[in-house]
């Protein structure tokens, strides 16, 4: 009886939520209906796809880079050398306590671009994209470094001592004992940071990277459109972020079932 009651209330709640969502969508499209030119959106589909593909490329590169930076910062903060430990800590706090927009402007116009001896265009690389990936990797890597450190330090001390008691060296302790357990604990936070990375990539437009948001502004400028330019923008970002959320949920369930 209790299960049947729960199913009834769950169905009622689902219907109410669906009705609310439909009402909101109807209101939004009613406001935009007279001003939205869907044919024009389709006409400029190549512009949207180019920006979406650039965002995918930048996000994938920055995700790999931020994982590497995060692991290095985590290892550096656990180093027995105080100079290495506090240098990593200072870098981490500096990056986390300053806006990404400022870091992009200073990093591109003050540090990377002026110090490059030769342009990367001659090598077949878009230097704005490369520098954008590096700067985004450093920013997100600082957050991942703190997430990884918290996950590793959450493992009870007895796990370390037991691993050493059976003859594991430091590398084997991390590989076979600490990392598998820490990964299960930090996975939700890492997935959330990956989603934030994709959304933060929109700020790269400030240094001229022609990603998804940059192209949406270009579309607005060419067609004199308004809010309708942001509808495909929202859909495009959902296409990029929802698979990450789904994959994270699957991995969480898998690890939880193994415990």
**pLDDT digit string, tens, across residues 56-79:** 999 999 999 999 999 999 999 988
- Same-domain pairing of 123 and 206: yes
Q: Are residues 79 and 45 in the same domain?
A: yes
134 shares a domain with 26: no
Same-domain status, 3 and 112: no
* 58/9 same-domain check: no
Which of 124, 122, 100, 88 has its CA nearest to residue 207?
100
> What would the mean pLDDT of 222-248 be, rounded to a whole number?
84
What CATH number did the domain enclosing 144 receive?
A: 1.10.3720.10
Its domain, for residue 2, covers 1-32
> What is the spatial distance between Cα 219 and Cα 204, in angstroms, rounded to a whole number?
17
What local confidence, expressed as pLDDT, does residue 121 receive?
A: 63
- The mean per-residue pLDDT over the stretch 100-117 comes to 85
pLDDT at 256: 67
Q: What value does the mean pLDDT take over residues 181-186? A: 85
Task: Give the per-residue pLDDT at 18.
Answer: 87
State percent of the chain over pLDDT 90: 39
* Same domain, yes or no: 172 and 63: yes
How many domains is the chain built from? 2
pLDDT category, 24, cuts 50, 70, 90?
confident
Q: Is the pLDDT of residue 192 over 70?
A: yes
Q: Based on the domain organization, do 241 and 116 belong to the same domain? A: yes
- Do 148 and 179 lie in one domain? The reply is yes
Identify the DSSP state of 174: I
Q: What is the pLDDT of residue 36?
A: 65
Measured distance CA(89)–CA(84) in Å, rounded:
9
pLDDT bracket for residue 248 (50, 70, 90): confident
61 and 98, same domain (yes or no) = yes
Grade residue 203 by pLDDT with cuts at 50, 70 and 90: very high
Tell me, yes or no, whether 73 and 189 share the same domain.
yes
Residues 6+ apart with CB under 8 A from 85: 76, 77, 78, 79
Give just the sign of the alpha carbon dihedral 37, 230, 46, 205: positive
For residues 46 and 155, membership in a common domain is answered with yes
Give pTM, 2 decimals: 0.84
Q: Are residues 129 and 21 part of one domain?
A: no
d(CA 131, CA 67): 17
């Amino acid at each position: 009886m209790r299960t049947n009651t729960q199913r009834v209330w769950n169905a009622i709640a689902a219907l109410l939520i669906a009705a609310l969502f439909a009402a909101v969508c109807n209101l939004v499209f009613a406001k935009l209906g007279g001003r939205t030119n869907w044919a024009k959106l389709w006409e400029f589909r190549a512009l949207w796809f180019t920006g979406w593909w650039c965002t995918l490329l930048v996000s994938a590169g920055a995700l790999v880079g931020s994982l590497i930076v995060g692991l290095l910062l985590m290892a550096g903060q656990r180093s027995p050398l105080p100079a290495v430990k506090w240098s990593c800590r200072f870098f981490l706090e500096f990056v986390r306590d300053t806006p990404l927009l400022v870091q992009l402007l200073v990093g591109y116009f003050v540090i990377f671009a002026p110090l490059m001896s030769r342009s990367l265009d001659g090598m077949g690389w878009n230097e704005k994209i490369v520098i954008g990936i590096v700067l985004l990797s450093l920013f997100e890597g600082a957050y991942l470094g703190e997430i990884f450190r918290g996950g590793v330090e959450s493992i009870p001390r007895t796990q370390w001592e037991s691993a050493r008691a059976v003859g594991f060296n430091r590398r084997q302790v991390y590989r076979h004992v600490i990392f598998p357990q820490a990964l299960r604990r930090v996975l939700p936070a890492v997935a959330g940071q990956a989603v934030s990375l994709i959304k933060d990539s929109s700020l790269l437009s400030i240094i001229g990277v022609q990603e998804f948001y940059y192209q949406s502004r270009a579309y607005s400028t060419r067609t004199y459109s308004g809010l309708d330019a942001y509808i495909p923008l929202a859909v495009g970002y959902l296409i990029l972020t929802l698979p990450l959320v789904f994959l994270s949920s699957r991995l969480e369930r898998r690890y939880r079932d193994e415990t």
